[in-house]
Each structure stands twice: as structure tokens, then as C-alpha cells.
Amino acid sequence: MNALIVVDLQYDFMPNGSLAVNGGNEIADVLNPIRDIFDLVIFTQEWHPTNHCSFQDIGGPWPVHCVQDSEGAKIDLRLIRENDIIVQKGVNQDVDSYSAFWDNERKHKTNLDEILKQHNIDTVYICGIATDYCVKFTALDACKLGYKTHLLVDACRGVNIDINDVKKAIVDMSTKGVNLSHSSSFSKISLSKLKQLCCLYDETWGEHPESTLEGESVYNFIIEETEKTGNLTLNSFLFI
């Protein structure tokens, strides 16, 4: 089973946000056509108290951002849906948390690992903001925890304080076991997802998958599902 982990896709990290990252607003458009292909979708969310140690006015490196309950802390509404899982991080005022698994001092673990294990996830696709900080540390921790880890390179945007930071981060992840992937590799829906979709409609799928593919009911379901989401093309289903 696989999971898409979207890191910190929050308004403060988008153009006009308090800690704007170039192109942060472009990520939803990359992910919307493919998000339904994954077995599970998880969003991480920076959720800082007002006096968080990472803020410049109390000696930290960053401007005030993603304060709990603020507009800037909201996740991009074009991508998130009502029942999506959210894992909050950076909630402790005394320590920052780049990785979505651990805080930077590795004292407190979030519930991300537990959620992945509960859903039998063995493969994760990581993307979001920022390539050279939270995405990188989340991907490296996923590797360390034994998940087969992919970086969806075209669905990430970085801070790039130094001009090569993003490039270095990608090389670093790659040399430490993260596979580099691209959203276009998901133009075909996975067989497991297709089975899941068809199971909703036709209970015979489990035993005779080939025969149900020819069934008119399944075909109609696929068309309906495609039109409803506006994301998956019929070709996605036909070329598995």
C-alpha cells in the first residue's frame, strides 16, 4: 500500500504569505490530477504557538508563520478534502520540527509513523514545501524508518536561500536512498486502486478481475468516477 504525503502546503508558504516560497501555489495543480491514485493521502501542517522558537522576534531564523488557527496556517483548499488525514508538527514552542516524523531534537515523535503502519503503508511519495527543509527531513526520516521513499520532484518547491540549496537537497536525498519520481509517472492508475474503485460497484471483481473489466457496469462506473473527480482520464484506466 502506498501513501502520498503532502508536506506543509499552507498559505503562509505561498506567494503573499509571511514566509513565501516561490511557486508554492503551483503544487495543488500538479497533485490534483493524481491524488486519487494513491491508497492514502496525508497532509502535514505546521501548527506553531504564537511564541514559537523559530520566529525571528524571539531569536529564531524565520518570520512569524503558520500560527495555530490563523489563515496562513490553512492547507491549500484546492487540494485538501474534508476527510483527509492531517498530521500537525511544530506544536511545541521550544523546538522546531522540520521532519513530519520527529522534532529537530528527536525527542517527540508525531503520529505519522503510527498512521502509516495502521494503514499497512510500505511506500511513501513525498512532496510539498520546502524541498530544502521540511520535505527533505521528512523524506530522510521515512527512509530511516524503512519505508520505500519517493520524492515527487515536480510537486516540491524550495526556499533556496543559497542558490543551490534545492539542488543539494535533492542530491542529498537521492544519495541517502530516496527515489526521485515525477508526477507524470502516475498517468496510469495503479491496479490496486482500480480494483478498489471497481469493488465499490461490482463485488465480483475480487475473483475474476479480467471479466469485470469488460462489464458495462464497470465501464459506466469508471466514466462516472472520471467525470466526478475531473482528474482521472479514461485512458488512465484503459492502459493498466
Q: Which residues bind Zn ion (CB under 5 A)?
A: 46, 90
Nearest distance from C-beta of residue 164 to Zn ion, angstroms: 23
Query: What residues contact 99, with CB distance under 8 A and at least 6 apart?
Result: 89, 134, 137, 138, 140, 141
Answer yes or no: 8 catalytic: yes
198 is catalytic: no
Residue with cell string 528527536: 106
**Nearer residue to Zn ion within complex by CB, 23 or 63:** 63
Nearest to Zn ion by Cβ — which residue?
A: 46
Query: What would the DSSP string read from start to end of 113-148?
Result: HHHHHHTT--EEEEEEE-IIIIIHHHHHHHHHTT-E
Q: Is the peptide bond before 100 cis (omega within 30 degrees of 0)?
A: no
Active site residue 103: no
Q: CB-wise, 13 or 125, nearer to Zn ion?
A: 13
**Shortest Å distance, C-beta 169 to Zn ion:** 17
| Amino acid present at 94 | D
Do 63 and 19 meet the contact criterion of CB atoms below 8 Å apart? yes
User: Looking at 8, 12, 76, 103, which residue is catalytic?
Assistant: 8
Q: Given the complex with Zn ion, which of 68 and 179 has the nearer CB atom? A: 68
What minimum distance in Å lies between the beta carbon of 46 and Zn ion? Answer: 4
**Active-site residue among 134, 143, 156, 198?**
134
Residues involved in catalysis:
8, 89, 134
